[in-house]
Amino acid sequence: MTNAQVTALTYGLLIFAAVWTTILVPQLIVHVSRYGRPQALRIAKTAMVTLYASMAVAVVLLPLPGPHSKRLEQTVQLHPFQWIEDIHTELVKHGLSAAHWFTTQTFQQAAMNVLLFVPLGLFARLMWKRGFVGTMAIGFTASLLIELTQLSANFGTAPFVYRIFDVDDLMTNTFGAMLGWVLAAMLLAFRATSTSTVHPQPVRRERVHLAQAR
């Protein structure tokens, strides 16, 4: 993990603390007014979504470029699966064999892109009850919004474009959301199986009517 990523995660936690402190009290007031007492599960769900959103925004946008930051030579990458070729280039550059592909920074970045969107897929299935196609659409839309934000230099608020609009990011992020949905579906199936095993359904016995002989 690079120093920039550590910095981004640190800011993400700070963002979460600020946002969570802001929304917790109103949420507690609403719960007491509507349900008579705080709803722990609802509060936990809100906290998880807030934490994920805060960390995701921080990882995607931070750290911001400084006055002496070097401008990018390339701001758009539209070649699908370019990351595979970049892994080969990185291996050759460092004189490594193909067996070290998983140690390259390129692969680790692609893996992080996938992992970043796995929680979104979990939320879509477990909390928002979305189907596989709906989750894929959510993942793609969220990823596209991120890439457009980066392409526009945070919609003009940054001094220049400091992140690449990458079609591979769209693919890996969307795949991450799909993977999260599959994991959530497997979890629900396992829980249903475990519940049926511990609490088996009672067997219905049909009444047998015997005809009395005269």
pLDDT one-digit tens code per residue, 27-60: 999 999 999 999 999 999 999 999 999 999 998 8
Residue 198 confidence (pLDDT)? 61
Residue 211 confidence (pLDDT)? 47
Q: What is the pTM of this model?
A: 0.85
Residue 153 confidence (pLDDT)? 92
Residue 111 and residue 30 share a domain: no
Provide the token pair at 83.
């990351």
Under DSSP, the state recorded for 76 is E
Residue 81 and residue 55 share a domain: no
Residue 100 and residue 21 share a domain: no
89 found inside a domain: yes
Residue 208 confidence (pLDDT)? 45
How far is the C-alpha of 147 from the C-alpha of 75, rounded, in Å?
11
Residue 55 and residue 161 share a domain: no
Residue pair 127/107 in contact by the 8 Å Cβ criterion: no
Please give the sequence-ordered ranges of beta strands (E in DSSP) within 44-193, or none if there are none.
Answer: 76-77, 165-166
Residue 105 and residue 175 share a domain: yes
What is the domain range of residue 109?
75-194
Q: Which residues pair with 76 in a beta bridge?
A: 165
Residue 103 and residue 82 share a domain: yes
Residue 187 and residue 131 share a domain: yes
Residues of the chain with pLDDT under 50: 206-211, 213
